Chain A
Amino acid sequence: MNYLVNPNVLKDDVTLEPIRAGFGRGLKIAGEADKTVVALCADLTESTQMHLFKEAFPERFIEVGIGEQNLVTVASGMARAGKIPFTSSYAAFSPGRNWEQIRTTAALNNQPVKIVGSHAGVSVGPDGATHQMLEDIALMRVLPNMVVIAPGDSLEAERATKLVACNGKPTYLRLAREKTPIISTEESPFEIGKAYVLREGSDVALMGTGTMTYHLLVAAKLLAEKGIEAEVVHVPTIKPLDEAVILASAKKTGRVVTAEEAQAAGGFGSAVSELLTEKLPMPVKRIGMNDRFGESGAPNELMEHFGLSGRKIVETLEQWLKDTPRYHQE
C-alpha cells in the first residue's frame, strides 16, 4: 500500500501536535474497545496524556505515585490477572530507571505490559539532559520478546496505541513532548512491524524513526534542490524491523542514512546497520546524538544545535555523499 504523506507537511502552516496527544486519544479508544485495558501512571497523568483515559474509566486507572519500579511490576501482576496494562511516565524514568524490572517481569516473563515513555529525545527542551532520554531505544530493542515503536506523529501514535493494545506482547512505545508536524493522514496505513516509503528517490535512502522522519522529508526537499534525489523511508517499528522494505530501499539507492532523536550508538541506526552488515553491506551514515548528553534550550534550537534538523542534516550529508560512492551489487 502506498503511504499517504500529509500534503502540507513541508509548508510553513503544517498542523502541529504533540505525539503524546495521539497516545492519549488512542488509549481512550482502546479502553472503550476492550474492558481489560487498564492504565497505570507514576504521577505524570496529564503530561503523558493518560488523563483522557482516567476521566473516561476512573475504575481502570491506577495511580502508583513516583515509583517507576513499582509501576511496571504492578502492571506485570495485572497482566497475569488477564489485564492489558499501559504504564506511562517520562522515558528517562521508565524505561530509564526500571529497566531490570521490565526485563524480568515483562520481557522474560513475557507479559503484555505496555511501557509508554513520553518526553523522549532532546526536543524535551529546557528541562535539560536529565529529562532528555536518548538511550531508551538501545535499552529496549535488545530485550527478547519486546516490541519497540517510535511513532512519527500524533496520528500514528493513536493508531499504534490501539494496535499495541491487541498485540499480546510486551511493548515499548516512545513518545515526544513537543508539538511536531503531522506527517501522515487519516488514511495512511500503519501496521506494527512495517516501514513505509514516503518519498521515492535513487541517490540515497534516508531512513528515520519517530520525530526524525519529518526532518528527513525536509532534508530530501533541500537535497532535491541540489540535484540529489533521496528516498525517504519511515520506520516507526524499530523491533521487529521491516527487513524487506529497508533492504529494498538500500538496494535501490546503494547508500543509507539513518536518523533518530537518540544516541546514534545502539539505537535505530545500529539496528539498520546490523541488518545491512549481514544481508547487504553498504555505506551507512547514522544521524543522532554522538556519545554525548543533551542540554537545556528551546526545542528547535536544540535540534539545530545537535545537527538533527533537516537543514543541519543536509549540511552533514553534503560532504558524506561526495565522499561515499553508491554501492552497486553485482
Chain B
Amino acid sequence: MTTQLTIPQIEQKAVEIRRSIITMLQTAGSGHSAGPLGLADIFAALYFNVLNIRPEEPEWSDRDIFFLSNGHTVPVQYAAMAEAGYFDKSELLTLRKLGSRLQGHPEREKLPGLENTSGPLGSGLSQASGYAYSLQYIDKNPHRFVYVMMGDGELDEGNIWEAAMFAGKYKLSQLVAFVDRNNIQIDGPTEEVMPLENLKAKWESFGWHVIEIDGHNIESIIDACSQARAISYQPTVIICHTIPGKGVNFMEYNYKWHGIPPNAEQAKEALEDLRTLGGTITHEGGGL
C-alpha cells in the first residue's frame, strides 16, 4: 500500500468489512455468515498491511499471492477487495446473483485479483505450495510471498496433509498458511465432528514453523506474518484463533450461523451491533 495505515485505522477497515459482509449476505439471501465475520480482522490486516499488492493493477508481476482455500468464506475477501479498491463497493450487492463477478464461491477468471478458483475444500494449500515452489526453485525469486487461508474444518481433507508433507519436504519458506481456528464446521464443533488437536504438534511434525495468535488482534496478525517471512528454512502456518460470527453478538460462537445469511431484521440488528461495537461506543467512529 502506498500509505501505511495505523492499527486503529486497520481495525476500522475490519468493521467496514464486517458491515459489507452483513449487507451483501442479507441482499444475496444465501451464503455463510460466521466464517467471513470471524476472518474480517485477518483480511483487513492482509489487504491493508501484509500483502504487497496493487489493487489498480491486479496482475502486477511482483505482487504477493493470496489463495483462498475455504472458498465459502469469500464474502470477506470480496468485502476486503472492494475496501482496498479492486472494484466499487456497490458491486458487493451483486453477490451470488446471475451475471455477477462475485460468484457464490470464488472463480478466478470472473474477477481480477482472485488467484484461484475454490469451494470444494482441501486444494488451496497445494495450489499455494505449487506457486511457492515455483518462486523458490524455478524463478529463484525470494522477494515474493504466497499466503493461503484454510478453515479448520477443512483440515479433515486428506489433500491438505498431502500438501503439508510436500511443503515440509521442500522447505517452502515463502509459503505462509493461515488456519482459521474457529472450532466450528457445518455439523457442529470440530472436536466432535473430527478432532483436530493437537493441531500445533501435527503441523510441527510435518516440518512447519507454527505460530498461534488471537486472530482478532491486528498487531498480532501483522507480527506473525512478519515472523513468517523472516523464517527462511521452512514453511509457516499461523493458527488464528477466531470467534465465529465475531462482531455480531447473536452470531458469535454459534455454529448454526456457519452456512446461513441474516434476514432483514437480523441484518439491521447486526449492523447496529457493528456500528456501536457491541454497545461499547455510542457515536460513529473512525473518522475515515
List chain A positions with a Cβ less than 8 A from chain B.
38, 59-60, 62, 64-65, 67, 69-70, 73-83, 85, 100-101, 104-105, 108-110
Contacts and interface: CB of A to CB of B under 8 A. Distances in A.
Q: Is the interface of A mostly helix, strand, loop or mixed?
A: helix
A101 B123 CA distance: 7
Given A77-B67, A81-B131, A109-B117, A69 B138 contact: no
Nearest to B125: A73
B166 interface: yes
A109 B135 CA distance: 20
Interface string B121-138: 011001111111111011
A78 B130 contact: yes
B16 interface: no
Interface in B49-103: 65, 67
B130 A74 contact: yes
B108 interface: yes
Contact of A73 (B132, B134, B159, B165): B159
Contacts, number: 106
27 contacts: A59-B138, A65-B165, A67-B159, A67-B165, A69-B126, A69-B162, A70-B166, A73-B159, A73-B163, A74-B126, A76-B123, A76-B126, A77-B126, A77-B127, A77-B134, A81-B130, A81-B138, A82-B134, A83-B134, A83-B138, A104-B117, A105-B116, A105-B127, A108-B107, A108-B117, A109-B109, A110-B108
B166 A74 contact: yes
Contact of B131 (A69, A77, A108, A110): A77
A105 B115 CA distance: 11
B286 interface: no
B129 A69 contact: no
Contacts of B108: 80, 109-110
A70 B107 contact: no
Nearest to B119: A104
B158 interface: yes
A80 B163 contact: no
A244 to B, nearest CB: 30
B118 interface: yes
B283 to A, nearest CB: 45
A82 B139 CA distance: 10
B120 interface: yes
B126 A70 contact: yes
For the complex of A and B, 3 pairs with smallest distance between CB atoms: A77-B130, A73-B126, A77-B127
Contacts of B166: 64-65, 67, 70, 74
A64 B130 CA distance: 11
Nearest to B170: A62
Given A73-B123, A105-B127, 6 more contacts: A38-B134, A74-B166, A78-B130, A78-B134, A104-B123, A109-B107
Contacts of A75: 130
Contact of B130 (A73, A100, A108): A73
Interface string B244-258: 000000000000000
Contact of A101 (B115, B131, B139, B159): B159
B138 A105 contact: no
Contacts of B67: 77
A64 B107 CA distance: 26
A102 B211 CA distance: 32
Nearest to A78: B130
Contacts of B134: 38, 77-78, 81-83
A73 B65 CA distance: 16
A101 B115 CA distance: 16
A79 B117 CA distance: 13
A110 B162 contact: no
A65 B166 CA distance: 8
Contacts of A73: 123, 126-127, 130, 159, 163
Contact of A60 (B117, B122, B132, B138): B138
Contacts of A79: 130
Nearest to B165: A65
Contacts of A105: 116-118, 123, 126-127
Contact of A67 (B116, B131, B137, B162): B162
Contact of B120 (A67, A70, A100): A100
Contacts of B65: 80-81
Contact of A74 (B133, B137, B138, B139): B133
A104 B116 CA distance: 9
Contacts of B133: 62, 74, 77-78
A83 B159 CA distance: 22
Contact of A81 (B109, B135, B169): B135
A76 B162 contact: no
Nearest to A66: B162
A101 B138 CA distance: 24
B146 to A, nearest CB: 8
**Residue of B129, B134, B158, B166 contacting most chain A CB atoms (<10 Å):** B134
**Residue of B158, B163, B165 contacting most chain A CB atoms (<10 Å):** B163
B30 to A, nearest CB: 20
Nearest to B158: A69
Given A73-B163, A74-B129, A77-B131, A104 B120 contact: yes
